[in-house]
Amino acid sequence: MGVTSDPTGLPEQPVSVARFLQIFSAVMLPMFLAAADQTLLATATPSIAQDLGGLRDTTWISVGYLIAMTATVPLYGRLGDRYGRRDTLLAALGVFSLGSIACGLATSLGMLVAARVLQGLGGGGLMVMAQSLIGELVPPRERARFQAYFATNFTLANVGGPLIGGLVVHHASWRWLFLINLPLCAIAGWRLLRLFRSLLIAGAD
């Protein structure tokens, strides 16, 4: 049996700003990671090509991630319905972390592209499951009030990705663009577990 993502019946209740921020803060980081990794390497590609060679084929570093991410969206939707959206999101964080490790340790362009595909398999789950959790925990009539939070998160990811990539490559190795995901994924998983414990306590009250 899967763990349900809505143990308290909260979607039937009005959501205060404080309650929404508690929920959003738990899913914001997974969404940011998935979105930022689409643009993160824009300024790091020359450095990667210099280290691994194959400048002509470096477009596959981004294309492989996007294809894998897009292809897994329907699958994650099905898995979330069957096993629970929280647990499916945690599994996606695990896959994304494994892909990030593989990317950071890649010794050839082919290995990096394959690792990016693995990372994209997790990234698709981060995006769709995070939004699905919001859909479960916030009733439809309440969601319009909070659209600015989503817009801000995606804007920061899209604008900040190339900027962060450029800064990291300038001051350190491009490999840190991937390895930094590991502590961030750990924080995201901790926040998800903590969120659902707090919802269970609220439901018991």
DSSP assignment string, the chain: -PPPS-SS-GGGS---HHHHHHHHHHHHHHHHHHHHTTTTTTTTHHHHHHHH--GGGTHHHHHHHHHHHHHHHHHHHHHHHHH-HHHHHHHHHHHHHHHHHHHHH--SHHHHHHHHHHHHHHHHHHHHHHHHHHHHHS-HHHHGGGHHHHHHHHHHHHHHHHHHHHHHHHHS-TTHHHHTHHHHHHHHHHHHHHHHHHHHHHHH-
> Which pLDDT score, from 0 to 100, does residue 199 have?
56
> Which pLDDT score, from 0 to 100, does residue 198 have?
59
Pair of tokens at residue 129: 């499951």
> Which pLDDT score, from 0 to 100, does residue 162 have?
84
> Which pLDDT score, from 0 to 100, does residue 65 have?
93
C-beta separation of 92 from 36 below 8 A: no
* In the chain, domain spans: 30-204
What CATH topology corresponds to 30-204?
Growth Hormone; Chain: A; (1.20.1250)
Query: How would you classify residue 107: left for phi > 0, otherwise alpha for psi between -120 and 50, otherwise beta?
Result: alpha
> Which pLDDT score, from 0 to 100, does residue 171 have?
85
> Which pLDDT score, from 0 to 100, does residue 203 have?
47
> Which pLDDT score, from 0 to 100, does residue 197 have?
67
Nearest CA to 53 out of 100, 111, 105 is that of 111
**In tens digits, what is the pLDDT along the chain, a chain of 205 residues?**
344 444 444 445 666 677 777 777 788 888 888 888 888 888 888 888 888 877 778 888 989 999 999 999 889 989 988 988 888 999 999 999 999 999 999 999 999 999 999 999 999 999 888 888 877 777 777 667 677 777 888 888 888 888 888 888 888 889 999 999 999 999 989 988 887 665 544 444 4
Amino acid occupying residue 124: G
Whole-structure pTM value: 0.83
> Which pLDDT score, from 0 to 100, does residue 134 have?
79
